[in-house]
């Protein structure tokens, strides 16, 4: 008999799988995270000249702190008050130089903590896609900004992992890749929540073809293994790998920079 889970149980079961995946591989995350590092650098650079109002700041799904490190390079004056580091995974937070020994894990599916009301700057890189309702959380994040506050975000979106989807369809097995939100839906959620978009760009990154096994191994070493599908049986996995096309693995990454309109008369 198959157990039927409520939406809350399914959400917390998925968060638990995300946590286990990243927790087990916390030591190998950064050596594997070249794409995440380069996107963090771009986001940090986008923050260089932003006029920030008063208010708290946070890195949402901060992991080991790549994005906040990039921010510090581009905005050294923020070193005195680094962004709050929120993440589900204590093993990654333990490696994060900004998290501090008392940082406790936070599940962003619950929304943001009250301390982030009226935020001056909310940053997030490669994390929103792991949440149950990315567009809904994006709208929630936008609504927590102070007037004149900024949301600076990157995440992989629908269109990524075409090689994996092609392999699954040719092998007639379920595709266990994480379903990714559509860029248009996220941009719409941000503007409907009242953000003025200052930058909305989709970038394409590719990893040279190395075959299905190397791709899945790379994702495992990143810790990015949680799936919303049950795992494939051994025979299904063999079929998937046998049908993997000789094409690069592609990430379509949305970069978004938006501002909550400043109060009348403010800069």
Ligand X SMILES: C[S@@+](CC[C@H](N)C(=O)[O-])C[C@H]1O[C@@H](n2cnc3c(N)ncnc32)[C@H](O)[C@@H]1O
Is residue 67 a contact point for ligand X (CB under 6 A)?
yes
Q: 3: exposed, middle or buried (C-beta count within 10 Å: 0-12, 13-18, 19+)?
A: exposed
Is residue 109 a contact point for ligand X (CB under 6 A)?
yes
Is residue 66 a contact point for ligand X (CB under 6 A)?
yes
Tokens of 241: 């790998």
CA separation for the pair 255, 267 (Å, rounded):
24
Shortest reach from residue 264's CB to ligand X, in Å = 35
DSSP assigned state of 82: P
Q: Which of 127, 168, 240, 255 binds ligand X (CB under 6 A)?
A: 127
| Whether the Cβ atoms of residue 59 and residue 68 lie closer than 8 Å to each other | yes
| Whether the Cβ atoms of residue 58 and residue 85 lie closer than 8 Å to each other | yes
Q: Which of 53, 56, 63, 212 binds ligand X (CB under 6 A)?
A: 63
Is residue 18 a contact point for ligand X (CB under 6 A)?
yes
Is residue 160 a contact point for ligand X (CB under 6 A)?
no
Residue nearest to ligand X (CB): 63
Q: Which span sits near ligand X by CB under 6 A: 47-55, 59-67, 155-163, 191-199?
A: 59-67
| Whether the Cβ atoms of residue 36 and residue 64 lie closer than 8 Å to each other | no
93 or 120: CB nearest ligand X? 93
Geometric angle at alpha carbon 88, from 83 and 90, rounded to 5°: 90
Is residue 22 a contact point for ligand X (CB under 6 A)?
yes
């Amino acid at each position: 008999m198959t157990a039927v889970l409520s939406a809350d149980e399914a959400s917390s079961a998925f968060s638990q799988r995300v946590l286990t995946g990243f927790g087990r591989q916390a030591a190998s995350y950064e050596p594997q995270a070249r794409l995440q590092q380069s996107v963090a650098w771009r986001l940090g650079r986008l923050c260089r000249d932003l006029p920030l109002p008063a208010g708290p700041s946070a890195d949402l799904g901060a992991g080991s702190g790549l994005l906040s490190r990039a921010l510090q390079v581009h905005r050294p004056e923020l070193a005195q008050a680094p962004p709050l580091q929120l993440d589900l995974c204590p093993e990654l937070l333990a490696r994060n130089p900004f998290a501090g020994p008392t940082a406790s894990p936070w599940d962003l599916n619950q929304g943001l903590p009250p301390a982030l009301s009226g935020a001056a700057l909310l940053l997030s890189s490669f994390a929103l896609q792991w949440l149950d309702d990315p567009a809904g959380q994006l709208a929630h994040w936008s609504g927590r900004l102070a007037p004149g506050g900024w949301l600076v975000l990157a995440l992989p979106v629908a269109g990524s992992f075409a090689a994996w989807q092609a392999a699954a369809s040719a092998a007639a097995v379920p595709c266990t890749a994480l379903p990714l939100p559509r860029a248009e839906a996220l941009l719409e959620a941000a503007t409907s929540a009242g953000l003025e978009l200052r930058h909305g760009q989709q970038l394409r990154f590719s990893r040279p073809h190395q075959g299905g096994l190397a791709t899945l191994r790379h994702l495992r070493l990143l810790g990015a293994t949680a799936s919303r599908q049950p795992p494939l049986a051994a025979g299904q996995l063999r079929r998937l790998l046998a049908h993997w096309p000789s094409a690069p693995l592609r990430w379509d990454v949305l970069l978004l920079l938006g501002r909550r309109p400043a109060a009348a008369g403010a800069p």
